[in-house]
Amino acid sequence: MGKPYSMDLRERVVASVEREGLSRRQAAVRFEVGISTVIRWVSRLRETSSLAPGKMGGHRPKKISGEHRLWLLQRIKDDDFTLRGLVAELAKRGLKVDYRPVWEFVHAEKLSFKKKRGGWRTRSSRHRAAAGAVDKVPRSYRA
């Protein structure tokens, strides 16, 4: 994001329009700024009697904070979870958030949301016993 133009430039441009009688287009060409910029500066001076630039950027506070943050930390420690499930649970508690803030919260807290590694299908085949031939399997287990 760019920086606002200097107050000196703003004052000279608006003075050329107001005092010298230049059109906004002529002032824009003379000072090498955009026509819409000159239009906004002149209208801003007339409305607010100030040429100071407005606030730029800023910080937006996180939605998941305070009571919801504590609840979410406890909820994650208690049981398995999915991010979409946490979004739904937070909605039930009165906090409407999207998937992204929940992901950012889990990521910022360095909490893992991967599946547990206890399942036999997660291991590679070399750690399992080799499957036997079909004729060695008892008939009661065959489909």
Q: What are the tens digits of pLDDT across the range 58-116?
A: 888 888 888 999 999 998 888 888 889 999 999 999 999 998 999 988 888 887 655 55
DSSP state at residue 130? P
How far apart CA 141 and CA 135 sit, in angstroms, is 11
| pLDDT tens figures, 36-73 | 999 999 999 999 999 998 888 888 888 888 899 999 99
Instruction: List Cβ<8 Å contacts ≥24 apart for 25-34.
Output: 33/5, 33/9
Q: Write down the pTM of the prediction.
A: 0.45
Contacts of 134 (CB under 8 A, 6+ apart): 142
